[in-house]
Amino acid sequence: MNSHVIAYQGVEGAYSHLACKGFFPQSIAIACHTFEDAMKLVEAETAHFAMIPLENSTAGRVEEIYRKIPLLDLYIVAEHFQPVKHCLLGVKGSSIKSIKYVSSHPQALAQCYQHIIKNNFEAIAEFDTAGAAQNLKEKNDPSYGAIASELAAKLYNLEILDDDFGDQKGNVTRFIVLSKHNITPAYDKSKRYITSLFFQVRNIPAALYKALGGFATNGVNLIKLESYSLPDAPLQVSQFHLEINGHPEEKSLKLALDELTFFAKNIKYLGVYERNTYREKILTKESV
Which of 15, 247, 26, 101 has its CA nearest to residue 6?
26
111, with CB counted inside 10 A (0-12, 13-18, 19+), is buried
Residue of 175, 198, 199, 263 with catalytic role: 175
| Cα–Cα dist 39/47, whole Å | 9
Is residue 173 flagged as an active site residue?
A: yes
Residue of 58, 129, 173, 195 with catalytic role: 173
Answer yes or no: are the C-beta atoms of 114 and 128 closer than 8 Å.
no
Answer yes or no: are the C-beta atoms of 37 and 20 closer than 8 Å.
no
| Cα–Cα dist 200/242, whole Å | 11
Q: Within the chain, where are the H helices?
A: 15-23, 35-43, 63-68, 106-111, 113-118, 129-139, 150-155, 207-217, 251-263, 277-287
Is residue 175 flagged as an active site residue?
A: yes
Residue 241, CA atoms < 13 Å, CB-side half-sphere: 18
Which phi and psi angles does 119 have, rounded to 5°? Answer: -90, 5
Three-class secondary structure of residue 276 per DSSP:
coil
Q: Residue-wise over 149-186: b if at least 16 C-beta within 10 A, else e?
A: bebbbebbebbbbbeebbbeeebbbbbbbbbbeebbee
Answer yes or no: are the C-beta atoms of 185 and 193 closer than 8 Å.
yes
Q: CB neighbours (10 Å) of residue 48? A: 22
By annotation, the residues acting in catalysis are 173, 175
